[in-house]
Structure 1
Amino acid sequence: MSDARSTTLVVEPDPGGHRFQAVAAVARLARAFGPVVLLTSSEGRRSVALDVYLGDLVGRGELTVLDPFDEIHPPTRAMASEVAGRCAAAARRGDAPVGRVVVMDADQALKRWWAVAPRLFRGLPVRPRVVFMLTRYPARLALTDLTGWRLRGPKAVLAVVAMATRSLHRVVGFSGRDDTAQGWIVKRVRDPHYCSAHSRDRAEHRALLGLDPDRLLVGIFGAVDARKNPQLVLDAISAAGLDATLVVAGGFDDEVRAWARGLDDVDRARVFLRDEFLDNDVLDRFVASVDVVPLALTNNGPSGIMGKAQAAGVPVVTAGSRVRAREVEATGTGIACDFTAASIGDAMRRAVDGGIVAGTPLGEVSAEEFAMTLLGVDADGRTFDRRRVLQAGAR
């Protein structure tokens, strides 16, 4: 590794979901090169997620948190201007130069970065290496998937245009955990498996969480918004004739809260609700405590909760995503089905009846692999070749 220290700016205004968990992975790698600064929003600065995922790094002085943004989705110009201003200020003060900028969840910023960033970066004594992380880029598509190509094509073009202006240097997008390809314009990164609990200790987890020790449990977890379709899953339980309780745990959005308030007495007796932000250990225990995790959502990407379930040895049922379908088929960790109550219910019944053997035959994806793929280097500053690492692990 070079002796020259440089600062890494990580831009993530939105604390929702497990975004700050991804920031933590990047920060733990980037601290090898020098100071790491998170640029977030005032909401991000106040969030419980910051303490949970980043508190240890902040406490050790390995991460500085600033909140220059007033909203969780600031305009692209505001983000680029903040980055350029900090690069210029570091040069004026003689501080460690800003060597790299990582924009997390950069799909929206990609649309106008090519137009606004070059002017703002002009005249900087040291231009940073800028990395974009795309969370909604379809890595693998069938030739007949016209909707997917309409989404992927413009993003690839915008990435090339921004790279041509030298205001963007690397673009990375999520792919399935079974995907070993590197990608061409948009490099592919696998969503990590994060789980500190395992289903073999299910009885202990249920006792700690106040869950029925003998009941069949179906779980929806994480940031629980309407896209996770709790009513559809409840209908699927009924369609399959399963004598089960639906466990819904995590931070609810307003629509899910309204759904919960509107449950009649019969359905209310069939659900266990916990509406609050769950720290990692509690969330992991919830995932490991259930018998099956259904993912009935239509965003065509990988799922952090799915990764937790895989690591915990809990079978997954997925509907609405080709990426997740390929992953469960390749890893043997679940069942893909149609987006209907009948199909989801049938898949859940097969899963809990031993229709699959939960596990991760392809090997777990570490947070370190995620961070090195995103930045393109390892902790010694050497180019990171994911294929070489995967091939070594397969031997």
Structure 2
Amino acid sequence: MAQDRTATVIVEPDYAGHHYQAVAAVAGVAVHHGPVVMLTTHEGVENPSLRVYLGHLLDSDSFEAVGVFDDRRPPTADLARLSADWCRTGVQGVPVGRVVLMDGDQPLKRWWAVAPRQLRGLTRRPRVIFMLTRYPARLRLTDLTGWRLRGPKATLAVVAMLRRSLHRVVGFSGREDDARGWIVRRVRDPHYSSAHARDAALYREQLGLPQDKVVVGIFGAVGPRKNAPLILEAIDASGLDAVLVLAGGFEPGVQEWLDSLEPRDRERVVARDEFLDNDTLDRFVASADVVPLALTNNGPSGIMGKAQAAGVPVVTTGSVVRAREVEATGTGVACEFTAQSIGAAIRTVVEGDFTVTQELDEVTPEEFGRTVLGVDEQGRPYERIAR
């Protein structure tokens, strides 16, 4: 039986990094079943990444992006109120069937308290979906820190479900993890690249990068949490003749750090503070000898997925999820969160011969979008049985 057309409200105030790329994957599925509106910041509708990732949808009649937030981290009450407002009015005359919060970790803390009163009284209650980007999917029994993060989030999700303000919760898992999850359903981050390391020399020529040095790359949104000073120190510890390439939009504090470097250190850093479209970002990643990820968030990384797809080894620290993934697939090395350990790992991957030990099935944007929405190819909701 054909499904009634229903609209989708996607809430994503944060335009940094590849947030809009994830929106594009979800919206690309949702538009087959009705119009889609993305609620973002006033600044977000002017950001170049909107056109890069969502331009093909913006050119259609089925998708629109609306700036309604002043801040990339709006209060949960505002998220709930504005979502409910769109449910009351509908999208292009079509009733709203689902609301998707693409970065739900912080709102989850209070959603159970503020959302029910906003959703109460709606003629048609939407199916509310949360995407968690910082939910530890798999944990060792001894990982007390991980359990302290996971337990409260799962509990809050159940409370929100019992109050009829939440219907589906999805969280990232490692790309080697094909389990389904129970309370929080698991989805693998898409990994694909339009460039490959076998053409690294060509990309370095196009991008103005040195051919005769080891290229260590930090890409995408370049901010303090990516720990560029630690990586530069690790390059020293490695003893390699290497340059650190920072390419992508710089967050506050990065340029100030660059300006504070001694001339000798500054000469070893290639800085490109600019928005990178997807193909350019892929070429930067594929041009590197190694991509280090010194991040303390215990989740997968979009840049890591690009590196894996491009055949570039990864050095990861600060995440059990990423460590498990590189160990299972042979796509890099996990190490301790110190300059000496990271430097030794960089030297290992540059001088070593890495062979993928587990082939990763490609996670397509469409598969990612359907899993987040919890719909089949006809747009009908489903709930998979956990394994």
Answer whether TM exceeds 0.5 for this pair.
Answer: yes
- For 1:97, the equivalent position in structure 2 comes to 95
- For 1:348, the equivalent position in structure 2 comes to 346
What pairs up with 1:1-395 in 2 under 5 angstroms? Answer: 2-90=2-90, 95-357=93-355, 361-382=359-380
1:87 offset after TM fit, Å? 1.3
1:382 offset after TM fit, Å? 4.5
Match of 1:238, SS state, is helix
1:359 offset after TM fit, Å? 8.0
1:269 offset after TM fit, Å? 1.5
Rounded Cα–Cα distance in structure 1 between residues aligned with 2:322 and 2:24: 24
Rounded Cα–Cα distance in structure 2 between residues aligned with 1:237 and 1:357: 24
Q: Deviations over 1:178-217 (max 9, x none)?
A: 1111111011111111311111111111111011123211
Q: Deviations over 1:70-102 (max 9, x none)?
A: 2111111111111111111239x9x21100110
Gaps of 5+ in 1: none
Does the CA contact (< 8 Å) of 2:223 and 2:253 recur in 1?
yes
Rounded Cα–Cα distance in structure 2 between residues aligned with 1:385 and 1:217: 45
- Alignment CA distance shift 1:231-1:281 (3 Å): same
Rounded Cα–Cα distance in structure 1 between residues aligned with 2:40 and 2:19: 11
Rounded Cα–Cα distance in structure 1 between residues aligned with 2:41 and 2:246: 28
Does the CA contact (< 8 Å) of 1:42 and 1:68 recur in 2?
yes
1:145 offset after TM fit, Å? 1.4
1:3 offset after TM fit, Å? 4.1
- Alignment CA distance shift 1:277-1:331 (3 Å): same
Match of 2:216, SS state, is strand
Q: Deviations over 1:335-388 (max 9, x none)?
A: 111111111111111111124225861222221221111111133124568899
Moved more, 347-356 or 242-251: 347-356
Q: Deviations over 1:203-245 (max 9, x none)?
A: 1111110111232111111111111111111111111110111
- Alignment CA distance shift 1:238-1:364 (3 Å): same
1:62 offset after TM fit, Å? 3.0
Rounded Cα–Cα distance in structure 2 between residues aligned with 1:15 and 1:72: 8
- Alignment CA distance shift 1:145-1:359 (3 Å): closer
Amino acid across the alignment from 2:143: D
Moved more, 232-241 or 350-359: 350-359
Q: Deviations over 1:255-298 (max 9, x none)?
A: 21111111111111211111111111111100000111111111
- Alignment CA distance shift 1:284-1:386 (3 Å): farther
Rounded Cα–Cα distance in structure 1 between residues aligned with 2:66 and 2:358: 38
Match of 2:67, SS state, is strand
Match of 1:224, SS state, is coil
Q: Deviations over 1:94-115 (max 9, x none)?
A: x211001100101111111111
Rounded Cα–Cα distance in structure 2 between residues aligned with 1:77 and 1:232: 38
Rounded Cα–Cα distance in structure 2 between residues aligned with 1:286 and 1:373: 29
Rounded Cα–Cα distance in structure 2 between residues aligned with 1:296 and 1:117: 36
Does the CA contact (< 8 Å) of 2:294 and 2:318 recur in 1?
yes
Aligned identity (percent) is 64
Amino acid across the alignment from 2:86: R
Size of the alignment, in residue pairs?
Answer: 387
Q: Deviations over 1:122-164 (max 9, x none)?
A: 1111110000001111111111111111111111111001101
Does the CA contact (< 8 Å) of 1:311 and 1:360 recur in 2?
no
Q: Deviations over 1:13-39 (max 9, x none)?
A: 110111100000001000111101101
Does the CA contact (< 8 Å) of 1:373 and 1:384 recur in 2?
no
Amino acid across the alignment from 2:4: A
Does the CA contact (< 8 Å) of 2:328 and 2:357 recur in 1?
no
Rounded Cα–Cα distance in structure 1 between residues aligned with 2:229 and 2:363: 32
Q: Deviations over 1:30-85 (max 9, x none)?
A: 01111011011101111111111111210122311111212111111111111111
1:117 offset after TM fit, Å? 1.2
